[in-house]
């Protein structure tokens, strides 16, 4: 089959893969639940390509993510609920509705004003959905944050929603004091209640996410960068040890810590 730039060909290929008897046995066995983990994985791989600034890989990963959309749409079409065209129509309708400053008569002078418009329109959509009986689950101020989100991202969104109704600090230094308070509680638990010390770590992480939010930073992105930095510096330790004819397990913490500081100094 000849490759094509046409989305129609991709839809045809997906249909062929899902055709009983002549299709792919693995693809035919899948359902929404079994494909969902792959959808999340592909989204992470898109984010990874962006973090590495690898645009060639980003092109491929976006294709993999698009396949996930096509796959879900095909399974829905087989159940006569919706098809790929309905997905496209839904998102184009939403984009036009949520950008009245571009496609309508509203005005937004800066990104912050655009965000305000966006939130107002989303809130209106939510009220209309609830009125139609289409709103499932909790309906409080924190409703609408998917449980399946990465924990750091979900914490960020929960905090942002709480902030919208006034439950928030105005000064990032107040959040920093909360972080110190949580760290003190961990130390106290280690001294007096070691079995429950781990439970306090969640509170510390939640407070750290809150500080990132107050600094207008995404905690997931920050942690990814720190992970990459750790990998880079640890690789430098391994290389330095290899030059000495050693492996990490043949070294000790003092030697590796000194090499870590050397790698850190070189980066700075």
What is the structure's pLDDT at 34? 96
d(CA 135, CA 202): 30
Q: In whole angstroms, how far apart are CA 147 and each of 39, 107, 143, 196?
A: 16, 34, 10, 25
Task: Say how many C-beta atoms besides its own lie within 10 A of residue 47's C-beta.
Answer: 15
Read off the tokens for 89. Answer: 């129509």
d(CA 133, CA 247): 63
pLDDT band for 77, please (50, 70, 90 cuts).
very high
Q: Hey, where are the domains in the chain?
A: 7-97, 151-217, 221-267
Give the whole-number percent of the chain exceeding pLDDT 70.
97
How does the average pLDDT of the chain come out, rounded?
93
Query: What topology is assigned to 7-97 in CATH?
Result: Helix Hairpins (1.10.287)
Average pLDDT over residues 61-82: 98
What is the structure's pLDDT at 21? 95
Cβ atoms of residues 36 and 213 within 8 Å: no
Encode pLDDT of 192-230 as tens digits.
999 889 999 999 999 999 999 999 999 988 998 899 999
Average pLDDT over residues 18-41: 96
What is the structure's pLDDT at 158? 96
Find how far residue 203's CA is from the centre of its chain: 20
Q: In whole angstroms, how far apart are CA 37 and each of 74, 224, 251?
A: 17, 20, 40
Residue 132 clears pLDDT 80, i.e. is over it: no
Q: What's the predicted TM-score (pTM) here? A: 0.70
CATH assignment of 151-217, given 1.10.340.30, 1.10.287.1080, 1.10.8.60, 1.10.420.10?
Answer: 1.10.287.1080
Encode pLDDT of 154-184 as tens digits.
999 999 999 989 999 999 999 999 999 999 9
pLDDT band for 122, please (50, 70, 90 cuts).
confident
What is the structure's pLDDT at 126? 79
Same CATH topology for 7-97 and 151-217: the answer is yes
d(CA 50, CA 52): 5
């Amino acid at each position: 089959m000849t490759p094509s730039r046409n989305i129609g060909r991709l839809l045809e290929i997906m249909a062929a893969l899902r055709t009983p008897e002549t299709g792919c046995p693995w693809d035919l066995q899948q359902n929404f639940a079994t494909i969902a983990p792959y959808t999340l994985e592909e989204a992470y791989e898109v984010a990874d390509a962006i973090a590495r600034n690898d645009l060639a890989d980003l092109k491929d990963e976006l294709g993999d993510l698009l396949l996930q959309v096509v796959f879900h749409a095909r399974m829905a079409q087989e159940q006569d609920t919706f098809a790929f065209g309905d997905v496209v129509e839904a998102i184009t309708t939403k984009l036009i509705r949520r950008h009245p400053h571009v496609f309508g008569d509203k005005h937004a002078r800066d990104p912050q004003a655009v965000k305000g418009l966006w939130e107002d329109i989303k809130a209106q959509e939510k009220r209309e959905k609830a009125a139609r009986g289409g709103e499932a689950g909790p309906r409080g101020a924190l409703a609408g944050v998917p449980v399946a989100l990465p924990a750091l991202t979900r914490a960020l969104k929960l905090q942002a929603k709480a902030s919208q109704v006034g439950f928030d600090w105005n000064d990032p230094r107040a959040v920093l004091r909360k972080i110190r308070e949580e760290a003190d509680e961990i130390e106290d638990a280690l001294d007096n209640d070691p079995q429950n010390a781990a439970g306090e770590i969640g509170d510390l992480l939640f407070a750290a996410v809150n500080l990132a939010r107050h600094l207008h930073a995404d905690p997931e992105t920050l942690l990814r960068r720190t992970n990459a930095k750790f990998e880079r510096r640890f690789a430098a330790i391994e290389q330095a040890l290899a030059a000495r004819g050693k492996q990490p397990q043949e070294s000790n913490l003092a030697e590796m810590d000194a090499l870590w500081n050397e790698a850190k100094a070189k980066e700075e």
